[in-house]
Structure 1
């Protein structure tokens, strides 16, 4: 192999290199320079160099890194290998490195090499030279890369084909799903193709509007000739020609009834959408229709109802006004409101405070702004207001309501104000209260004044029985007459007692509420009823821990519980021992008392009479017929409710709702 050698001691150098094959460099171990001593002609040729250009120079000057190389280039790896060989006195391999060489056109040609760095030692074992051999692997590397590229291309082709197949499957599935969606959709859907608008798809809901008609495959006007002059056809035609979507609300479309073929008015919301082909041209129309006949009819009813409501509002006998915005400007005022304020219709649009400034002194303006800010309604009873009527101040009594008005988002935008003039009612109630008080005084006086004479008559009857001689004239009739007189006296006494109870009930209405320990009150009632419970062998079950305290008149609450428990024992069934349950539980805004028994019960015909005054539905038990009447009056006066469920021969449940 021809070599280029340095002029000094060429024979010695040739002896060292004579047996070396392939490409090689012989370098001095003068790190970091690594001067080239000799290199093979083959390597010179492969790297495009002349011996005179490189021999005697540093290998990294003769073969510097070029722009095409990375930081992990051939020279960089070669330096690492030379340093390792010089340090360890052992060969070092470079399996594959890239080093581009100049091409004839001045550009660099991509080349790949394998290399091996080997020490040449002298007799003392010191490194005399570094021998670097290399092998050009460019052809092999290119072949491997081409093979790899072919394999990658084939892989990509397979992947592309798989993706195409998968996409085709997905498109087919999407088409099937879309068709199922159209066919199952709760709207009327059809697809019309081509300039003649031929039916390509008709879902069941669309088809049911045209029973017993063949639509698929037919042009629109051939299948439905009645649409020739209808707006639905003209807008569809325009969608196909222009490519612009059309939406139609509540379109009037007369359709034939399935029963007799008579046309009836139907209304539809339509969306007509253009369909495009692969070139982006309109090739059909998609129609989505929703029948809104019921909504249209309901809307018309609402409009009619709104007109009726406005008429009712305008003619309402109470005052009604509607104010909007933060300044509370008049938006509506009925005639009663205008008359009550002594104003005309020109108040609409004006601020409330400007129209009725005198209301500020009553706190009305402040209350209205409070409702506007909090959104909480406000109700006021028996408000005394002085209103100027035709220049004359007059005092009226009103029941007010301020009610917030909200928009679709729930925001308060105004107030609805109603005011009922209760001046006359209040005066009438005052007069009624005075009359009731007079009546109570009369009943009390009458019952009190009659007790003594009746007691005297009863005493006289007793004396008469003791002093009448036996066997005298009329001896057979006298005892009977005395018995009748005694019964009349007792009935008179019972009537007086009932009148006294009524007076007490009227007085009990005025009892103020206070916290009542329910368990303690029930126990007191149970002790009072202990003789009755024991005589009847009754079992009383009490569960009131869920509502330990109630705000109520103690005397009235005791009367309610006493009467309900007493009746449950009094009207027991003769064939079984009484079992009475008294439960109390919290309800929605109320406390619920429930008394359940297994007694005689009542029929449906008896229930409406249960709370009547002096009503006695079971005459075998003594009583005045006022107990349940008094219970209902107490509950009603407190703003509560009482309800009864009963079945004859089974038992009765009385449920009382008391305001919490």
Structure 2
């Protein structure tokens, strides 16, 4: 509305539905102020009326004085839309949002004689809109995070959007079920015309219209492996759940899909076999957990509750249900792991552990493997912790039985081996003056083989003790350089096929189990000899690195492929290739070495390239 100077100006201002203040253009003195303007200003009427405009609004003067002066000078209005402004209202500072106009008021000659300040407060509207935008962005962020988690899931997962059920998302496991088919952006019945006449079509429609979850187990669907290919009978288990938008309206379907063709086909035998396989499948089901740090909530699905031995459907908590459900012997270890999971610089949020639970209600001890991922904000504070739990009780019990057997057999072998060692040593001593070269060589070889067998049996015994948490470390202070020097000299006496160099370091003392650290060094040197051609060099190096000591053994052998480097310290793992198939071993030396070094708070690793040799190394803390 354009105002002009005249008799009706006063009544027009007082009756206006928005705040208006009329200023004298020459003096910027407030001549007329209506109640709406006073309410927005939050100041008494007498503090504004007949006062220089910038006196009551000194806090806004630095920002808008030039704009007001420009209106008087040019006769052009100035507009400000939803600007954030600090005003002193009712005696205190307040941040508000306002839309205002400095509008010139002209006389009949077109001269600016007054300025009308029009103002409308829209603080509430702006804040509500910002909150809505923030909530929408948070929901989208949660969806993105959930999508990231689903990309790693072993089950086939997809999201079907809208009433046409258009593929919006499909994880790699789902894509593997339908290789070569283009999914995203296409309706499901266009991608899979084979299912149009199956119960799946009506089930999907029902889930989308009613919001009720649907679970279909072992459904037979004639489905091609590739789009347009020949049909074959395939069995699937489905879980369909309606997806809700921010208004709690159904806008899609979340689908979990498992192909169980091999399982179902294997159950076409006897009923007993079917039951056994069915129970095996159920035993392998995953439990899922979701911990929200901002909300302070923990959610478990039914399977997760079962693995912790609870049947109630009440809310679960970290302290009451998780911590109290841990086996006493595993509790402190797992709580330390979780504390590190929540420190991004330590773990990057990765969670992968094995532990025991004790059922709250059934008191049953279960072994589980838990894998998950913690997510962090920009300040690396944990926001969300999501993962899965898999029962491995039977697997762990089998391992324990196997370790007990290995330990028992190894222990029983030590007695005759000790006797055999003594006999060979006595015979060697008695025959040392024998002139027959065959006798001397045979006794030496017998002594070497008996020693190798003794080391092998000790390795198996140590693994058995390690698995049963009975591998004791007799730590003492000793000179690591002297130990390595002795071991290198000892190896040189028995190994004539390779040159073994030792690059010494200054005398460095550590606190450790001398015999077990010695077995690690011996094993690494022995491997370097075994896996490199005769006539090559093995370099042993000892080097101080700050408060740690680094020992490395470098060979000129066959090296390791990248996939083998990741598993070389696994128990019973052996590299399989033409070069290694004739090399004896059980794959326990590096595993045991790694566990011994970790038991000393050290680190063990390997640097290698295929056909270019390897460097195995470990670091240990230096004694203070």
Q: TM-score, normalized by length of structure 2?
A: 0.37
TM-score by length of 1: 0.35
- The structure with the larger Rg is 1
